[in-house]
Amino acid sequence: MSTPQVMKKEYNMHLDFSLPLGKAYTKWMQALKEKKILGNTCGKCGRIFVPAKPFCEICFEEPREWVELDGRGIVESFTVCFEKFRNCPDPPYVVGIIRIGDAATCMTHFIGGLAYQRPEEIPGQIRIGMAVEPVWAEDRTGDPLDIAYFRPVK
């Protein structure tokens, strides 16, 4: 019987977690169920956070005032993924860094609703600074994925 020079052993880690979201994130997620994008505002510096934050990291204060935004945003940056990675969506897919309204923060989300024949055409369909709006998922559970994706505003 021949012995391999070195052996390799395969293993994996299927681990489950349950993440408490706290009050601010919970309120923000619950609003998504109702197709609303909320932000909360720091009483000291006035910055609006979308997604909402439990505290302003600069002033170290709890943002107490909540505002509802119309959901429109602009693309601050983006990428188009052409490769298949495990546990990640099938390519091509577009992920954008999206600033909702006048928020001081951005959301990471999918960009969709693009017209293209070949995947190589996708980067040309998106522009940094482009206006986008949310397309809501049918089934909403209080999760960022209640927004199916953002699409260019026509």
Partner 1 sequence: MEKKAAVIGIGYTTYCSNRKETRSKADLAYEAVRNALDMVGLSIGDIDASVYTSVDGFEATVRPARMLEAFGQGLNIPLVDVNTGGSAGGSGFKEAVHMIEAGLHDIVLLYGAPTFNNVVDNQQVLNTASPPVFEKPFGIGAVHMGAFYAARYMREHGIEEYDYARVASKNHRAAVKNPHAHLRHGFSPEEVLESPMVTWPIRLYECCPTSSGAVAMILASGGRAKELCDTPVWVRAISSIADTFLSGFKVYRDFDKLKILAKKVYEKAGIRNPLKDFDVAELFNPFAPFELMEYDALGFCEEGKSVSLLRDGVTEIDGELPVNMSGGVVCTNSGISSAVNRHAEIALQLMGKAEGRQVKSPEVGLAHSWGGNMGQFHTLAVLTL
Q: Is 80 in the site for partner 1 (CB under 8 A)?
A: yes
Q: Is 26 in the site for partner 1 (CB under 8 A)?
A: no
Q: Is 153 in the site for partner 1 (CB under 8 A)?
A: no
Q: Which is nearer to partner 1, 37 or 107 (CB)?
A: 107
Q: Is 89 in the site for partner 1 (CB under 8 A)?
A: yes
Q: Is 120 in the site for partner 1 (CB under 8 A)?
A: yes
Q: Is 76 in the site for partner 1 (CB under 8 A)?
A: yes
Only one residue has tokens 């954008």, namely 96
SS3 sequence, the chain? CCCCCCCCCCCCCCCCCCCCCHHHHHHHHHHHHCCCEEEEECCCCCCEECCCCCCCCCCCCCCCEEEEECCCEEEEEEEEECCCCCCCCCCCEEEEEEEECCCCCCEEEEECCCCCCCHHHHHHHCCCCCEEEEEECCCCCCCHHHEEEEEECC
Q: Is 56 in the site for partner 1 (CB under 8 A)?
A: no
CA-nearest of 50, 53, 75, 48 to 149 is 75
Binding partner 1 (rule: CB under 8 A), the pick from 2, 22, 83, 117 is: 83
Q: Is 131 in the site for partner 1 (CB under 8 A)?
A: no
Chain positions 96 to 115 lying near partner 1, rule: CB under 8 A, are: 97, 99, 104-110
From the CA atom positions of the chain, what is the Rg in Å?
A: 20
CB 70 to partner 1: min, Å: 19
Interacting residues with partner 1 (CB under 8 A): 5-6, 13, 17, 19, 21, 50-51, 57, 76-83, 85-89, 93, 95, 97, 99, 104-110, 120, 122-123, 128, 143-145
